[in-house]
Amino acid sequence: MTTMAHEGQTLAPTTHEELESILASAHTAARSFGELLPSARASILDAIADALEADAAELVAAAEVETNLGSARLAGEIKRTAFQLRLFGNVLRDGDFLDVRIDHEDPDWPSGAARPDTRRTKIPVGPVLVFAASNFPFAFSVAGGDTASALAAGNPVVVKAHPGHPRLSERTAQLVISACRSAGAPEGVFALIHGTEAGSEALKDHRIKAAGFTGSIPGGRALMDIAMSRPEPIPFYGELGSNNPVFVTPAAAEARGDAIAKGYIASFTVGAGQFCVKPGMLFVPAGTGMLEKLRASSLPDGNKMLNERIRKGYVESLQKLSSLPNVEVLVQGHSPLSTTPSPTLLITRAKHVLAAPRELESECFGPTSVVVEYDDISELVPLAETFEGQLTATIQGEDDCPVQDLVRVLSEKAGRVLWNQWPIGVAVTYAQHHGGPYPASTAAATTSVGTAAIDRFLRPVAFQGFPQHLLPPELKEDNPLRVPQMLNGRR
Amino acid sequence: MTTMAHEGQTLAPTTHEELESILASAHTAARSFGELLPSARASILDAIADALEADAAELVAAAEVETNLGSARLAGEIKRTAFQLRLFGNVLRDGDFLDVRIDHEDPDWPSGAARPDTRRTKIPVGPVLVFAASNFPFAFSVAGGDTASALAAGNPVVVKAHPGHPRLSERTAQLVISACRSAGAPEGVFALIHGTEAGSEALKDHRIKAAGFTGSIPGGRALMDIAMSRPEPIPFYGELGSNNPVFVTPAAAEARGDAIAKGYIASFTVGAGQFCVKPGMLFVPAGTGMLEKLRASSLPDGNKMLNERIRKGYVESLQKLSSLPNVEVLVQGHSPLSTTPSPTLLITRAKHVLAAPRELESECFGPTSVVVEYDDISELVPLAETFEGQLTATIQGEDDCPVQDLVRVLSEKAGRVLWNQWPIGVAVTYAQHHGGPYPASTAAATTSVGTAAIDRFLRPVAFQGFPQHLLPPELKEDNPLRVPQMLNGRR
């Protein structure tokens, strides 16, 4: 395709003057946008979802040019992105997200002092800066999860475009801005910027009150350090790296070895392995035939990666992993380092992981995974203990496996623990948690996927002794918005 | 009193070897303590409360020696501290704090992909380091708010004693350890350390997973920077400084000028002004007689401050504030810089605050406050806009005052906004929020007082596809703990 010539070309970076104007507009928009009733913000989210779906064909075509992802996957991602916006709309209409708490005055409160009338709600934090990801050009980019949750919370959003898909980002931003405008949002509630410098300058600006990020550990840590060293530090919600180990118990290997091998191979190769929850390690028991099954598997053909920069990074990671002592190739296609890299399965043994876990367990973004052979199920807990914070950890087990200790250790290590499923495909739901201890996330108490993500961009405020007419509507005694209220400690 | 000779003497700092042993024990205790049922942890909190109350007389006597606070105040503070521990016990028995969310499997989930069975709960973060405060030797010290919420959340606690009351800290720690032991908590669940070096070393240690702090802006910021620059950064929950401005509208000054003057003077002088929510500024309208009423007021006598270090800091702050251009003394007793400093009211005008707010609005920890005269009610919003993040902001108004804009700006600036009340006395309740944008707090989304404080020391984790017998009890379908559960998005 001639249009492929666009790949890797970035747009002109946002200038200092342009950024100043964008930040001033976001600052101005914050108050009027934050004061919209939740239901009005829901309508704006719906309008953005409608706009994405209305132009889905054009967006898919634009994304294909810049990302090498297939049209089916891209169309599905638009559906997910639109769904996510509408789900936050439902969250807004429901009102549970405000966690409203009302304490009536109580002169006999047993703390030793009278309890004043106190009413707590949550308010938007102010303009949010979102660093878009490369690997989900819709769901974690311009109109993706962080944008949806920050807008839902009532904050203007400035997105720093990912350089991997600048034109798609521009096109998406135009749709978002136009949808916001036609749905009655104030001007300046959304803007797109380009360039590392502009992103860093925006992150340092006092008008930005929180930031969201999805990307690598070094990149995320550098930005987090900027956010934390500001005169006024701000929350930095970074989703960084994860190995996403999978632990196969002996009983599961015996019972379902073929299915596990098949599921694993599909899981680490789909989308050229470019998922933050791609399984990076599979622990398999010796003597159960698992290793032989994997060795005998034919891996799928390679696919183009998102862009050349990412492919180069992948090749470096693969070469580094392969060259570690005690690591060998288990299965590999004929062109592992080509522009369409054949998937690679590496192999090592449990004792080597126990001896030097950090490099073996580092994330390799692309179609490579490491198989680790262990001898006894008692090794799984110590192996699990070697991991840093993870987005996910998975057990392939059978119901009678003695895995309670393993479940416990993995829940201490990961934000999401799976049983007999595969981590790819982070469902957008109420109970989802996409985070985990550092370095999986810079803010383990929060999630970047699911309805609870709205919490990131809200801040509680308590009103004490206020007359009804001066209270926000959700705190009024007659509850005109019909939101859930905790009343004197009871919901 | 001969016992006053103890004041200012610190105990021997915790050695590196002692700290190592304490951290190792806390690390070991974390798992078994975190696995106790919430109701078992509640019993441990009750036992600590009982122990404090049983030895209240002795504790009050010990606190009087080291803090110069009166016995009535100290006895009340013990009551508050015990109440707080028991209230968290109730929170544990109720189970709402887990924010349990259960999504059943749904093949028709409209995101474009099937929804797996996903169940989210919250788990303890791991050992917590608490830096005790000087000004509440019980409620914000060894067995205070951060300790109560961290233990409630299921985490071992290491308290770094405040050097202002080391012996009381030791005595309190002995009570806590003994109560924990007799109530069945694992060894190592609580420990006390002394010394700046030991505190800093503990904060850097990989076994510490979160920290709480109450104190000054420079001290808190230095510790926050340590927490953030660790290889694995951890949440740092600091409650730092606040001016706590009070805005008197013309109508309120006309209607209740005497009462406001009286309430203000009581509020900034009680406890020698050593409260984090002491009102540091009072904005009064010209031409309403408010200034004259204040000038004619007799301020109460001075009291000893917590210790000599704090008195010296106060004298410096007062001298700095007094020497600012356009600041004059409005009322002052005869010995403002003595060992029992007479309270001081300073006076300036609104235009000076608007021109150079930062120094005028800085916290002066002690019995000083600044009266600011303004000409027109329209100045209040711009004046409010000059403030950094605050713990509290207060309006003294009348029901027909045009203050909607002022309420909105103050809610953007402060964690708690008050109407016709005074900020001193942070009630321990369900709806309380004691925090606010930086520098009031380093984590504006969280509170250090009230039941929501337990959130600081918990982390969500989602379980996907798990069989019932491997799930934590609160996530099981038959809900044996009878906790509130959000089921498929509905509570």
Catalytic residue among B239, B379, B388, B474: B239
Are the beta carbons of A279 and A270 closer than 8 angstroms?
Answer: no
**pLDDT attached to residue A399:** 84
**pLDDT attached to residue A1:** 31
Q: Between helices A71-94 and A38-54, what is the axis angle to 10°? A: 170
**pLDDT attached to residue B9:** 57
Q: Which of A76, A419, A491 sits opposite B465 (nearest CB)?
A: A419
Say whether the ipTM exceeds 0.90: yes
Binary contact (B428, A111; C-beta < 8 A): yes
**pLDDT attached to residue B401:** 76
Checking if the pLDDT of A335 tops 80, the result is yes
- Cα dist. B225→A206, A226, B158 in Å? 19, 12, 19
**pLDDT attached to residue B400:** 75
B401, closest residue in chain A (CA to CA): A470
pLDDT, mean of residues A459-484: 97
Binary contact (B113, A80; C-beta < 8 A): yes
**pLDDT attached to residue B10:** 67
- Report the amino acid identity of residue A461: V
Checking if the pLDDT of A7 tops 80, the result is no
> Nearest CA of chain A to the CA of B383: how many Å?
17
Q: Average pLDDT per run of 10 along chain B, which is 491 residues long?
A: 43 96 98 96 98 98 95 97 98 98 97 96 98 97 98 98 97 98 98 98 98 96 98 97 97 97 97 96 97 95 95 96 96 94 98 96 96 97 98 94 93 98 96 98 98 98 97 97 97 89
> Nearest CA of chain B to the CA of A248: how many Å?
15
Q: Between helices B71-94 and B56-67, what is the axis angle to 10°? A: 120
Compute the 3-state secondary structure of chain A and give helix, strand, coil in percent, each to the nearest 5.
Answer: 45, 15, 40
Binary contact (A112, B232; C-beta < 8 A): no
> Nearest CA of chain B to the CA of A28: how many Å?
13
**pLDDT attached to residue B5:** 35
**pLDDT attached to residue B6:** 44
Percent of chain A predicted with pLDDT > 90: 96
Q: Which of B96, B109, B419 sits opposite A464 (nearest CB)?
A: B419
Q: Which residues of A touch B263 (CB under 8 A)?
A: none
**pLDDT attached to residue A439:** 97
A472, closest residue in chain B (CA to CA): B408
* pLDDT tens by residue, A74-103: 999 999 999 999 999 999 999 999 999 999
> Nearest CA of chain B to the CA of A428: how many Å?
7
* pLDDT tens by residue, A258-301: 999 999 999 999 999 999 999 999 999 999 999 999 999 999 99
Bridge partners for B487 per DSSP: B102, B490
Binary contact (B224, A233; C-beta < 8 A): yes
Cα B50 → chain centroid? 23
**pLDDT attached to residue A3:** 35
Spatial separation of the C-alpha atoms in residues B267 and B259, rounded to whole Å: 12
Q: Which of B442, B460, B467 sits opposite A447 (nearest CB)?
A: B460
- Residue A270: which of A291, A295, A299 has the closest Cα? A299
Rg (CA), chain B: 24
**pLDDT attached to residue A294:** 97
Q: Which of A119, A429, A458 sits opposite B115 (nearest CB)?
A: A429
**pLDDT attached to residue B354:** 98
- Residue B432: which of B444, B445, B415, B419 has the closest Cα? B415
**pLDDT attached to residue B4:** 37
Pairing of strands B100-103, B118-124: antiparallel
Interface A:B, Cβ pairs < 8 A: 249
Checking if the pLDDT of A402 tops 90, the result is no
Binary contact (A463, B109; C-beta < 8 A): no
**pLDDT attached to residue B8:** 47
- Residue B370: which of B334, B332, B327 has the closest Cα? B327
Binary contact (A465, B419; C-beta < 8 A): yes
Q: Which residues of B touch A90 (CB under 8 A)?
A: 489
Spatial separation of the C-alpha atoms in residues A244 and A414, rounded to whole Å: 8
Q: How confident is the model at residue A255 (pLDDT cuts 50, 70, 90)?
A: very high
User: For A372-376, which contacts have Cβ atoms below 8 Å and span 24 or more sequence positions?
Assistant: A372/A281, A372/A282, A372/A283, A372/A284, A372/A347, A372/A348, A373/A284, A373/A285, A373/A286, A373/A291, A373/A347, A373/A348, A373/A349, A374/A283, A374/A284, A374/A285, A374/A286, A374/A349, A374/A350, A375/A285, A375/A286, A375/A350, A376/A285
Binary contact (A433, B462; C-beta < 8 A): yes
Are the beta carbons of B224 and B236 closer than 8 angstroms?
Answer: yes
* pLDDT tens by residue, A208-246: 999 999 999 999 999 999 999 999 999 999 999 999 999
Q: Which residues of A touch B467 (CB under 8 A)?
A: 399, 419
**Catalytic residues of A, which ones?**
239, 276
**pLDDT attached to residue B16:** 98
Complete DSSP assignment for B276-307? TT---EEEEETTSSHHHHHHTPPPPPP---S-
* pLDDT tens by residue, A422-437: 999 999 999 999 999 9
Q: Which of B421, B444, B460 sits opposite A465 (nearest CB)?
A: B421
Q: How confident is the model at residue A443 (pLDDT cuts 50, 70, 90)?
A: very high
Test the A interface: residue of B121, B410, B429, B488 with most A CBs within 10 Å: B429
